[in-house]
């Protein structure tokens, strides 16, 4: 008697993963458009909001309107080796901002630096190594950056990961949560003193931008438990990604409250960049992906439109003093009830702080806490 074992070729599995990813993207687009017919039409037509910007505004437009090239600012942009982060770094550097790019892939970062310098020979780009899923790597990056003695006006927490299967970081934490949320939490904590000092020395408002996603609306309080986020019993990639994106907003809400209590001249906000064809399907190019993307292309943003909200929140005088808010299409927008819950934000901050203090390689990390 013979048994036949069918092993699916990896190309079929890859196609299934691609289809799943594309379906998720289309659902996200629909969710982001559904709230009202008016909002849908506004998005599709690119109708501008009260501040003069809308879904079709590009990062370059926003940056040109927002700052004079004579203003010498320093910004850190995570995840700038591709997609929305690369465009953010490009337009900021073109306008004279000194851009620090922490990257895990230094070759990619060097290539980006070369292409920015080719377009803008005056650009000042500093590259340094970081793996945002590793506490030790973040500590190394921060010591290195702080030892340069540079000011820090803007921190853009943009890097993001979507992991279809369960993986763990070197700190033994689920990889999506470790990268998208915990890594940026620690990075922000370690750099906050520098941002606060720069703001008080220069009188220029410090700005922190957490890049979240409209997909955060998928999560409710029932499926948002800190211990399960660290080590989920059953894993779903889209859910893990959405949970990390709620955490990005809750982080912005709680830190904003603390900064206000300290009377620091620093704001922190969260943004949804829009749906952009970026690295999320980087490894799955092919007929199916390209066809589905072609069909959905009228609903997608270009990378430059995708970087616009981040640049608006990081630079525009129109958001001066606004903190703890959520933005989409360069306008203030509504986030989910969970993301708005002050108690949840405070709880998450305390749990995160306790975890990091337990796991950190001993070093002087001053937590921002206004207890």
Ligand X SMILES: NC(=O)c1ccc[n+]([C@@H]2O[C@H](COP(=O)([O-])OP(=O)(O)OC[C@H]3O[C@@H](n4cnc5c(N)ncnc54)[C@H](OP(=O)(O)O)[C@@H]3O)[C@@H](O)[C@H]2O)c1
Give kind and range of the element (H or E) at residue 125: strand 125-129
If we measure between CA atoms, which residue out of 191, 205, 162, 222 comes closest to residue 314?
205
Q: Does 275 bind ligand X (CB under 6 A)?
A: yes
Q: How far is the CB of 276 from ligand X (least distance, A)?
A: 4
Q: Does 159 bind ligand X (CB under 6 A)?
A: yes
Q: How far is the CB of 362 from ligand X (least distance, A)?
A: 23
Q: How far is the CB of 130 from ligand X (least distance, A)?
A: 6
Q: Does 237 bind ligand X (CB under 6 A)?
A: no
Buried b / exposed e over 209-238, threshold 16 CB at 10 Å, is bbbbbbbbbbbeeebbeeeebbebeeeebb
Whats the size of the chain, residue-wise?
A: 371
Q: Does 115 bind ligand X (CB under 6 A)?
A: no
Identify which range of 114-122, 250-258, 277-285, 321-329 contacts ligand X by CB under 6 A. Answer: 277-285
Identify which range of 6-14, 63-71, 275-283, 313-321 contacts ligand X by CB under 6 A. Answer: 275-283
Q: How far is the CB of 333 from ligand X (least distance, A)?
A: 13
Query: Which residues, listed in sequence order, are joined to residue 301 by a DSSP beta bridge?
Result: 276
Select 132 or 186, whichever has its Cβ closest to ligand X: 132
Identify which range of 38-46, 230-238, 269-277, 340-348 contacts ligand X by CB under 6 A. Answer: 269-277
What's the rounded Cα separation, in Å, for the pair 143 and 76?
14
What's the rounded Cα separation, in Å, for the pair 97 and 145?
16
CB atoms within 10 A of CB 160: 26
Q: Does 160 bind ligand X (CB under 6 A)?
A: yes
Select 195 or 271, whichever has its Cβ closest to ligand X: 271
**Angle at CA of residue 19, ends 16 and 21, nearest 5°:** 110
Selected from 55, 57, 74, 133, the binder of ligand X by CB under 6 A is: 133
Selected from 24, 63, 130, 156, the binder of ligand X by CB under 6 A is: 130
| Residue 95 contacts residue 292 (beta carbons within 8 Å) | no
Q: Does 213 bind ligand X (CB under 6 A)?
A: yes
Reply yes or no on whether 235 is catalytic. Answer: yes
C-alpha 49: how far from its chain's center?
A: 23
Selected from 273, 355, 356, 365, the binder of ligand X by CB under 6 A is: 273
Write down the catalytic residue from 162, 235, 241, 284: 235
Q: Does 105 bind ligand X (CB under 6 A)?
A: yes
| Residue 90 contacts residue 170 (beta carbons within 8 Å) | no
Q: Does 251 bind ligand X (CB under 6 A)?
A: no
Q: Does 161 bind ligand X (CB under 6 A)?
A: yes
Give kind and range of the element (H or E) at residue 127: strand 125-129
Work out the angle between the directed axes of helices 237-261 and 183-202 (0-180°, nearest 10).
Answer: 30
Select 205 or 274, whichever has its Cβ closest to ligand X: 274
Total residues contacting ligand X (rule CB under 6 A)? Answer: 27
Residue number, nearest CB to ligand X: 83
Select 85 or 205, whichever has its Cβ closest to ligand X: 85
Selected from 279, 341, 351, 367, the binder of ligand X by CB under 6 A is: 279
β pairing state of 98-103 and 125-129: parallel
Q: Does 211 bind ligand X (CB under 6 A)?
A: yes
Q: Where are the alpha helices (DSSP H) in the chain?
A: 10-33, 37-45, 59-66, 83-94, 106-119, 135-147, 175-177, 183-202, 226-230, 237-261, 287-296, 303-306, 308-315, 342-359
Selected from 278, 304, 305, 368, the binder of ligand X by CB under 6 A is: 278
Q: Does 99 bind ligand X (CB under 6 A)?
A: no
Q: Considering all CA atoms of the chain, what is the largest pairwise distance in Å, rounded to the nearest integer?
A: 81
If we measure between CA atoms, which residue out of 155, 149, 216, 165 comes closest to residue 186?
155
Residues in contact with ligand X by CB under 6 A are 79, 81-85, 104-105, 108, 130-133, 158-161, 179, 211, 213, 272-273, 275-276, 278-280
Q: What are the residue numbers of the active site?
A: 235
């Amino acid at each position: 008697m013979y048994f036949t074992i069918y092993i699916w070729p990896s190309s079929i599995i890859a196609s299934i993963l691609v289809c799943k990813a594309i379906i998720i993207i289309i659902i996200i687009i629909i969710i982001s458009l559904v709230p009202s017919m008016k909002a849908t039409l506004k998005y599709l037509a690119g109708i501008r909001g009260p501040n003069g910007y809308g879904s079709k505004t590009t990062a370059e437009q926003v940056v040109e309107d927002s700052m004079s090239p004579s203003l010498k600012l320093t910004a850190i942009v995570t995840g700038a080796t591709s997609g929305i982060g690369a465009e953010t770094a490009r337009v900021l550097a073109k306008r004279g901002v000194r851009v620090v790019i922490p990257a895990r892939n230094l070759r990619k970062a060097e290539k980006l630096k070369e292409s920015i310098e080719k377009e803008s020979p005056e650009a000042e780009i500093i590259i340094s190594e970081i793996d945002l899923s590793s506490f030790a790597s973040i500590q190394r990056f921060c010591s290195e950056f702080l030892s340069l003695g540079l000011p820090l006006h803007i921190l853009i927490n943009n890097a993001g990961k979507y992991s279809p299967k369960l993986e763990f970081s070197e700190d033994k934490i689920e990889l999506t949560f470790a990268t998208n949320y915990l890594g940026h939490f620690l990075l922000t904590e370690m750099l906050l003193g520098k941002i606060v000092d720069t703001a008080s020395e220069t009188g220029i408002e410090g700005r922190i931008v957490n890049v979240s996603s409209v997909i955060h609306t998928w999560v409710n309080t029932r499926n948002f438990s800190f211990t399960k986020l660290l080590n989920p019993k059953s894993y779903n990639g889209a859910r893990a990604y959405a949970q990390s994106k709620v955490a990005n907003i809750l982080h912005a809400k709680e830190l904003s409250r603390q900064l206000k209590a300290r009377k620091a001249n620093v704001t922190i906000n969260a943004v949804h960049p829009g749906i952009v064809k970026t690295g999320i399907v980087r490894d799955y190019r092919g007929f199916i992906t390209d066809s589905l993307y072609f069909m959905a292309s009228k609903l997608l943003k270009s990378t430059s439109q995708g970087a616009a909200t981040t640049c608006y929140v990081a630079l525009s005088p129109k958001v001066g003093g606004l903190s703890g808010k959520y933005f989409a299409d360069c306008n203030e927008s509504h986030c989910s009830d969970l993301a708005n819950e002050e108690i949840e934000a405070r709880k998450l901050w305390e749990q995160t702080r306790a975890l990091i203090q337990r796991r950190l390689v001993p070093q002087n990390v001053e937590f921002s806490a206004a207890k």
